[in-house]
Structure 1
Amino acid sequence: MTRTIQDTHFTAQIASQACQRQWESMPADACERVAQCLLDWFGVALRGSTEPVAAILRQEAMLDGGNGVASIVGHPGKMTVLQAALVNGAASHALDFDDVHIHVGHPAVAILPALLALAEARGADGRSLAVAYLAGYEAACLVGAAIGEAHYDRGFHTTATIGIVGAAVACARLMALPEDGMRRAIGLAATQAAGLKVMFGTMAKPFHAGRAARDGLHAARLSAAGLSANASVLDGEYGFLSLLGDGTGRLPAVADGPLELRNNLFKYHAACYLTHAAIDAARRIAASPGYRACDIDSVIIAARASIDSVCNITAPTTGLEMKFSIRYAVAMALGGLDTGSPEAYADDQVAVVAALPFLPRVRVALNEKLPLTYSHVDVRLKSGQVISDSSDSNRPAIDLAGQRERLVAKFHGLAANHLDESRRRRFVAAVLSLEQCEDVGKLFRLIQP
């Protein structure tokens, strides 16, 4: 069942659902899924803490001083909760290796840094964290579904513009705000929403995630303090959905809908998610019997036209830009190069990929009718043979145990330069038994230098 965006109760219904979430009513698989999101987030945040964007924001925060009550991943000492949300949010998105939801972009990097900073400061337990994260995640997905693809296609970065609402809802739920307070938090978040796709390939993209976390947390705190805001900000002719969408969207049913957390997608290539389908197709082609990269005559990558403003940088000059080049990503896969580690996208690797003999003959064919997460790759060999494959990266895992194993391995790879194996194992065990955690701050203490 759907309704038009001119209805006036969507904000209220989202707030009501978020406030009603309780540990006792969480689906059986939900805590495991939250724990997996948390493990993945800590891994990318820890490795991302060494990236320049994280260092710049830490240095800037130190200039402001403040009462340190919230941890900074990968670094000793503490900062204010708002500073920690900003710094950890940017660090966790610096690699572009964090999880994805088709309606939100990158939910964890917008929601978890805010929620963890607040939870640590309040001494919250793992169950409270899981309930609050689910509330924020599901709220963000509802808003993202309602605003529709037009919002992203017009150039808005949904991790920032939708993620901020998820962060506000999650923090408001952890603070146990009543429904009117939750609605104010949503209003204060929505009125701050900002982030443009034109920043992709620069440090401003992970900065978006940090700002979404910081500002969403701030919205919840200001609501708790009594700052007023429009309590129906998402609704009506001049509401968030009408102004930032195309004005023709329809609202998803809030009550009794499927759990969107089950549609969460994790990354195993350290590049923009919209390159992943093409990478997977290219890797299967490269594994074909008798395939040799030296035999490639030409390559055609078919992808949705809207990726042109996301991940179609033709000739990247930095490793960060290379993460947003579907052409280079496919060339890496076809050339037998690693696509799954952050080091594969270091600045000095740009020249390595550029030197692949077949790269000048790799072409991207844009097609508006293709699904956003779908790609088709044709490789023509010098013999005239064509090897083809296609993939759609919007395929959530069904096997939770198998996904857990992959995420544990990913965490060990990301954290290896920061923690010895014994500490990594203790941390993984603590995160994956989240419901038994009596103090979320313990998780930070397990990994801090």
Structure 2
Amino acid sequence: MTTVIQNIAAWCGAQTDFSAAAKRLAAEAITDTLACIVAGRADSATLAVRRAMESQIGASGARIVGGGRAAPAVAALINGTAAHALDFDDNFRPGMSHASAVIVPALLAIADLVDASGEDFVKAYLIALQAQAYVGWGVGYNHYVAGWHGTSTIGSVGTAAGTAWLLGLDTDGIARALTLGVSMASGVKGQFGTSAKPFHAGMAARNAVEAALLAQAGLSGKMDILEGEQGLRELYSGGIITDFWDKTPIDGPHVIETTGVVPKRHPCCGSTHMVIDAILDLQAKHGFTADDIARVDTLVGVANWRNLAYPAPVDEMQARFSMQYCVARALRKGVLSLSDFTQSAVDQYAQDPLMAVITMEHYGEENSKKALHPHKVTLWLKNGGQLEGARSVAKGNLGDAFNDADRMEKFVDCCTGLTNASVDGLFVTCETIALQRDLKAIDPLFNA
């Protein structure tokens, strides 16, 4: 009987092409992530990781945002940290992860090693994403509720499938990379609101690169380490074992066309997004302003409630994980941008009296284990009125997708400060990455 890892590896090894729709959606996700890497290049977390690796940065190897090159694992570590540094990168529910912040930096590092084409880069992205989804669904959502950071746990495993495929490994080699990725899976959500959180994405990207290179060299592990005794599912499932792998093959419709990745509308923790979007929906319909608000009550899942641990943030990282700060800024401005999450912005706005009337409750741990719930908001107006809203998904999902203008606007916001190239031209280049003979056309993003 074949194991789950062997089934994933066999699917990966059999992939020769994907639908036009899947490749278009992949290119959009890659473009969004490249922009986030650029935006995060000067964040304190990225700079700290870069300083730690400084002795290994030179003129050869894989590209690093901000200039320089290094061994593939080091480049993936730095670029992955940058991708997640501002919490503006996409969400991926099946993996409970920021999938692309791990996949794109890891694949970039391997692509530079093997001089991959844009088309193969996109295919490798789709392979890694499907593997992340399959691993994530099999472990189950309670992995996330229990406090594991899916970006660095599920991300390390699933992304290893894509790096191994792009490196040119056969089915057995991909399987070896996957089992090694399981041994590397780590990262706890208790670190949210600190610079360790973006490091988790860099760590997972590095893990995926190293898993592929070690697999290429012949290192291996158990093939049943996902579903077997003392394996990932048993140890990381939050006490609730799913039978997903027993019932569901990996070779169904691609996850990017059915569930999708969700690019972020707001540069802050995704646990705030459904509430913020519900508020903006109500504001667009009813036309109220922040000055009309007497109180805001929010209801979220317990895992989301735990993520948002900073009702009175003192720095920009804590502000990204503060429901009170994010909701108050959205009510004041009608939109959130990167400029709202700087130290000077937090110093100026974290004392907003509106924050004191914003509450956050959760559904309860047992209820949250049973199902994913919509996030709800109740607005109490000073005139005595009451408005209620709810969202089960954030803006950017397949049913409420970004349009061309939305994607361009975010790309420009992230790439502010680039002086060595046309931002508009780079946006087009990234969105047509599958047509590029190699990845040299995106060099201006990394040499800024």
- The answer, yes or no, to whether TM exceeds 0.5 is yes
Instruction: Give the aligned partner of residue 77 of structure 1.
Output: 68
Larger CA deviation: 435-444 vs 85-94:
435-444
Instruction: Give the aligned partner of residue 435 of structure 1.
Output: 434
Uncovered stretches (5+) of structure 2, i.e. residues with no partner: none
| 1:429–1:285 CA distance, 2 compared to 1 (3 A) | closer
The Cα shift of 1:8 comes to 5.9
The Cα shift of 1:300 comes to 0.8
Preserved contact between residue 85 and residue 210 of structure 1 (Cα < 8 Å): yes
What SS class does the counterpart of residue 302 from structure 1 fall into? strand
Instruction: Give the aligned partner of residue 272 of structure 2.
Output: 275
Matches of 2:373 and 2:115 in 1, distance apart? Answer: 40
Q: 1:346 aligns with which of 342, 348, 372?
A: 342
| 1:283–1:236 CA distance, 2 compared to 1 (3 A) | same
| 1:299–1:62 CA distance, 2 compared to 1 (3 A) | same
Deviations 1:258-316 (A, max 9, x none): 31123111101011111001111222333454624223222211111222221242221
Matches of 2:347 and 2:446 in 1, distance apart? Answer: 35
What SS class does the counterpart of residue 335 from structure 1 fall into? helix
Instruction: Give the aligned partner of residue 4 of structure 1.
Output: none
| 1:398–1:391 CA distance, 2 compared to 1 (3 A) | closer
The Cα shift of 1:399 comes to 7.6
What SS class does the counterpart of residue 108 from structure 2 fall into? helix
Q: 2:294 aligns with which of 273, 294, 297?
A: 297
Superposition pairs of residues 108-127 of structure 1, within 5 angstroms? 108-127=100-119
Instruction: Give the aligned partner of residue 257 of structure 1.
Output: 252
Superposition pairs of residues 311-330 of structure 1, within 5 angstroms? 311-330=308-327
Instruction: Give the aligned partner of residue 206 of structure 1.
Output: 198
Counterpart AA for 2:398: A
The answer to whether 1:378 aligns with 2:378 is yes
Q: Which runs of 4+ in 1 moved over 6 A?
A: none
Q: 2:328 aligns with which of 331, 336, 340?
A: 331
Report % sequence identity.
30
The answer to whether 1:92 aligns with 2:83 is yes
What SS class does the counterpart of residue 205 from structure 1 fall into? helix
Preserved contact between residue 302 and residue 375 of structure 1 (Cα < 8 Å): yes
Instruction: Give the aligned partner of residue 241 of structure 2.
Output: 248
Instruction: Give the aligned partner of residue 403 of structure 1.
Output: 403
Matches of 2:86 and 2:373 in 1, distance apart? Answer: 20
Instruction: Give the aligned partner of residue 139 of structure 1.
Output: 131
Counterpart AA for 1:410: K
What SS class does the counterpart of residue 389 from structure 2 fall into? strand
What SS class does the counterpart of residue 157 from structure 1 fall into? coil
Matches of 2:286 and 2:26 in 1, distance apart? Answer: 40
The Cα shift of 1:247 comes to 4.9
The Cα shift of 1:82 comes to 1.1
Preserved contact between residue 160 and residue 194 of structure 1 (Cα < 8 Å): yes
Preserved contact between residue 181 and residue 208 of structure 2 (Cα < 8 Å): yes
Counterpart AA for 2:343: D
The Cα shift of 1:372 comes to 4.5
Superposition pairs of residues 388-399 of structure 1, within 5 angstroms? 388-393=388-393, 396-398=397-399
Counterpart AA for 1:20: A
Instruction: Give the aligned partner of residue 15 of structure 2.
Output: 21
Instruction: Give the aligned partner of residue 424 of structure 1.
Output: 423
The Cα shift of 1:100 comes to 1.1
Instruction: Give the aligned partner of residue 12 of structure 1.
Output: 6
Larger CA deviation: 297-306 vs 135-144:
297-306
Instruction: Give the aligned partner of residue 353 of structure 2.
Output: 357
Q: TM-score, normalised by structure 1?
A: 0.92
Q: 1:285 aligns with which of 282, 298, 309?
A: 282
What SS class does the counterpart of residue 271 from structure 2 fall into? helix
What SS class does the counterpart of residue 348 from structure 1 fall into? helix
Counterpart AA for 2:103: I
What SS class does the counterpart of residue 158 from structure 1 fall into? coil
Larger CA deviation: 257-266 vs 139-148:
257-266
Uncovered stretches (5+) of structure 1, i.e. residues with no partner: 1-6
The Cα shift of 1:146 comes to 0.6
Instruction: Give the aligned partner of residue 180 of structure 1.
Output: 172
Matches of 2:323 and 2:2 in 1, distance apart? Answer: 41
| 1:287–1:431 CA distance, 2 compared to 1 (3 A) | closer
> Over aligned residue pairs, what C-alpha RMSD do you find?
2.1
Counterpart AA for 1:51: D
Instruction: Give the aligned partner of residue 61 of structure 1.
Output: 53
The answer to whether 1:50 aligns with 2:28 is no
What SS class does the counterpart of residue 224 from structure 2 fall into? coil
Counterpart AA for 1:143: V
Counterpart AA for 1:175: L
Matches of 2:412 and 2:289 in 1, distance apart? Answer: 32
Counterpart AA for 2:433: L
The Cα shift of 1:65 comes to 5.0
What SS class does the counterpart of residue 100 from structure 2 fall into? helix
Larger CA deviation: 208-217 vs 245-254:
245-254
| 1:290–1:127 CA distance, 2 compared to 1 (3 A) | closer
Larger CA deviation: 348-357 vs 173-182:
348-357
Q: 1:220 aligns with which of 193, 198, 212?
A: 212
Matches of 1:446 and 1:203 in 2, distance apart? Answer: 23
Q: TM-score, normalised by structure 2?
A: 0.92
Preserved contact between residue 301 and residue 375 of structure 1 (Cα < 8 Å): yes
